[in-house]
Amino acid sequence: MKKIIAIMIVLSVLAAGFVFARGQQEESGLKLAMGGSTTVEPVMRSAIEAYEDVDANAQLSYEGTGSSVGVKGALDGVYAIGGASRELKQAEADAGAVATPIALDGIAVIVNKSVLVDNLTLEQIAGIYTGEIKNWKEVGGADKAIVVVNRDEASGTRVAFLELVLEKVFGKNSEYMKDAITVESNGDMTTKVGSTPDSIGYCGLGYVDGAISAGAKTIYVNGVEATVPNILSGKYSVSRKLNIITKGAPAGDAKIFIDFLLGDEGQTIVEDEGFIALP
């Protein structure tokens, strides 16, 4: 009887150890709430899927909430990692935000296929978005009013486009026209421009194929097409970095995932999603 009891105790201890070890294994995966730029979103979602293939216990999520929300979320502790398709503002850096580039991107200018224009100068694009140019005939197109589509104020792409186009032409006090159609994501932008005759918009390089499928086309800027070689060479000037944001230097689980993004598999994902791997 005593022997049976002893065996049962041993088995109980082994079972408890197994449950504990299994629990420890289940808790060993990365746990990261992430969010921000909708431009960065496809890279992050594919990276999450790839990482979870090798770490079944990982608990990773990404919300496409806009760059400004991503930076604020990282600073407030809502996100372990934020995504931003623009550079940090000085106030954000002063508050402790740290940007880690994970990719390069060009901002493609897109128009509805009904538009009979294939090239615009940077000055013409800036004029359209400030409201100084209102008709396609002013830039070599048909006598049609230009329908301007812009991103919402949380968008990093909106900020980058302002800096790279409007401010480059008209200076630091440039402002967008007030009565443009406003959309909340790259996907919404491509859908709206593709379905709206005489419209113009802009999107990250990784969304160009979707724009074309939706009924839009890309146009040249100063005679240069938004392609990977032209962006890398600097010929296409409307380009920027895609950044990962952390509060302070990356550490812990956040650093592990960022290192994955910067590694060979992560950079292949960047290219697969239509963006440009870091040189």
58-98 pLDDT, tens digit each: 999 999 999 999 999 999 999 999 999 999 999 999 999 99
Question: What pLDDT score does 64 carry?
Answer: 95
Other C-beta atoms closer than 10 Å to the C-beta of 113 total 14
Residues 249 and 123 reside in one and the same domain: no
Residues 191 and 122 reside in one and the same domain: yes
Residue 26: pLDDT band with limits 50, 70, 90: very low
Question: What pLDDT score does 29 carry?
Answer: 87
Residues 116 and 217 reside in one and the same domain: yes
Query: Could you give the number of structural domains in the chain?
Result: 2
Question: What pLDDT score does 226 carry?
Answer: 96
Task: Say whether pLDDT at 51 is over 50.
Answer: yes
Task: Say whether pLDDT at 278 is over 60.
Answer: yes
Task: Say whether pLDDT at 13 is over 60.
Answer: no
Task: Say whether pLDDT at 18 is over 90.
Answer: no
259 within some domain: yes
Length of the chain: 279
278 within some domain: no
Mean pLDDT score, 122-151: 98
Write out the two tokens for 184.
């909340």
Query: Tens of pLDDT along 200-242?
Result: 999 999 999 999 999 999 999 999 999 999 999 999 999 999 9
Task: Say whether pLDDT at 9 is over 60.
Answer: no
* Helix or strand (DSSP H, E) at 128: helix 122-130
3 within some domain: no
Mean pLDDT score, 149-171: 97
% of the chain beyond a pLDDT of 70: 90
Residues 207 and 137 reside in one and the same domain: yes
By DSSP bridging, strand 119-120 and strand 81-84 are unpaired
- Distances in Å between the Cα of 241 and the Cα atoms of 25, 124, 149, 151, 181 are 36, 24, 23, 18, 26
Residues 234 and 110 reside in one and the same domain: yes
pTM score above 0.85: no
Other C-beta atoms closer than 10 Å to the C-beta of 100 total 18
4 within some domain: no
Task: Say whether pLDDT at 251 is over 70.
Answer: yes
Residues 44 and 170 reside in one and the same domain: no
Residues 260 and 213 reside in one and the same domain: no
Cβ-based neighbours of 45, under 8 Å, separated by 6 or more:
62
Mean pLDDT score, 259-265: 98
Question: What pLDDT score does 143 carry?
Answer: 98
Task: Say whether pLDDT at 6 is over 70.
Answer: no
For residue 20, what are the domain limits?
9-104+242-272
Residue 28: pLDDT band with limits 50, 70, 90: low
Q: What is the mean pLDDT of the chain?
A: 91
Residues 88 and 143 reside in one and the same domain: no
Residues 253 and 211 reside in one and the same domain: no
Residues 114 and 230 reside in one and the same domain: yes
Mean pLDDT score, 100-123: 98
Q: What's the CATH code of the domain at 247?
A: 3.40.190.10
Residues 79 and 34 reside in one and the same domain: yes
Residues 34 and 145 reside in one and the same domain: no
Torsion of CA 51, 53, 59, 60, to 10 degrees: 40
Task: Say whether pLDDT at 14 is over 70.
Answer: no
Mean pLDDT score, 256-267: 98
1 within some domain: no
